[in-house]
Amino acid sequence: MENPVKLEISRRGLFISSAAAVAVASAAGRVAAQSAGNEMAYTTKVSFSVNGKGQHLDVDNRTTLLDALREHLHLTGTKKGCDHGQCGACTVIVDGRRINSCLTLAVMHEGDEVTTIEGLGQPGNLHAMQAAFVKHDGFQCGYCTPGQICSSVAVLEEIKANIPSHVSKDLNAAAAVTPAEIRERMSGNICRCGAYSNILDAISEVAGIKA
């Protein structure tokens, strides 16, 4: 038969453990409530232009530009691949420069001009690069394509910007752009479907060179 003293101790122990558990739970609840309150304090208002339209957001400071575009502005043309700067699927153009939007915070872009794939062109009014990708089958699944196109557009501008001022800015005439240079500059945009040769054909057509 069970020893009554031992049973009593055991009940007291149980009572003490339960009381401690309640205290811990209530402290945890307070911490959770407090951090929820703090989270609200950790948001920032930011204004920038996206595809020529002013946008005003109040975002968690940790929100990437990519998430601001996709989740807040519902511009889902910009894709999330790796979410840490390795695939280029999230490439957008900010103030004329291509960037990986997963690697930058939305709050860092106050006053900036952001261009996404939606801003380059739309069905019926495609950008020359979009049309060239369609013409040359520069994609298979299409997941990397918005990033590839934004990057391609910026790449040709980068090459033009590097042409000395006394030389024609016509890429072909200046012999400034070669397939090797395009490949190198596009190397941050990964295509899992391996549509690289068609992508190069598309960019070369827009640049006016032979791939």
H helix or E strand, kind and range, residue 17: helix 4-41
Measured from the CB atom, is 83 or 181 closer to ligand FES? 83
Q: Is 194 left (phi over 0), alpha (psi -120 to 50) or beta?
A: left
Q: Is 142 in the site for ligand FES (CB under 6 A)?
A: yes
| Nearest distance in Å: CB 151, ligand FES | 11
Q: Which of 107, 132, 133, 139 binds ligand FES (CB under 6 A)?
A: 139
Nearer to ligand FES, 98 or 127 (CB): 98
User: Taking the complex as a whole, how short is the minimal distance between the CB of residue 196 and ligand FES, in angstroms?
Assistant: 9
Q: For residue 89, state whether it binds ligand FES (rule: CB under 6 A).
A: yes
Output the CA–CA distances (angstroms, integers) from residue 80 to 4, 128, 151, 164, in the order listed: 65, 24, 15, 36
Query: For ligand FES, which is the closer residue by CB, 132 or 176?
Result: 132
Q: Residues in contact with ligand FES, total (CB under 6 A)?
A: 23
Helices marked H in 42-144: 65-67, 117-120, 128-135
Contact predicate 117/154, CB 8 Å = no
Cα distance between residue 8 and residue 193, in whole Å: 70
**Strand, helix or coil at 174?**
coil
Sites for ligand FES among residues 168-207 (CB under 6 A): 191-193, 195
Residue of 55, 63, 100, 198 that binds ligand FES (CB under 6 A): 100
Q: Do residues 99 and 111 lie in contact, with contact meaning Cβ atoms separated by under 8 Å? A: no
Position among 141, 167, 173, 175 found at the interface with ligand FES (CB under 6 A): 141
Judged by DSSP in three states, 47 sits in: strand
The interface region with ligand FES, picked from 25-33, 49-57, 69-77, 142-150 by CB under 6 A, is: 142-150
89 versus 182: smaller Cβ distance to ligand FES = 89
CB of 69 to ligand FES, least distance (A): 12
Binding of ligand FES at residue 71 (CB under 6 A)?
A: no
Among left, alpha and beta (phi > 0; psi -120 to 50; other), residue 85 is left
Residues that bind ligand FES (CB under 6 A): 80-83, 85-90, 100, 102, 139-145, 191-193, 195
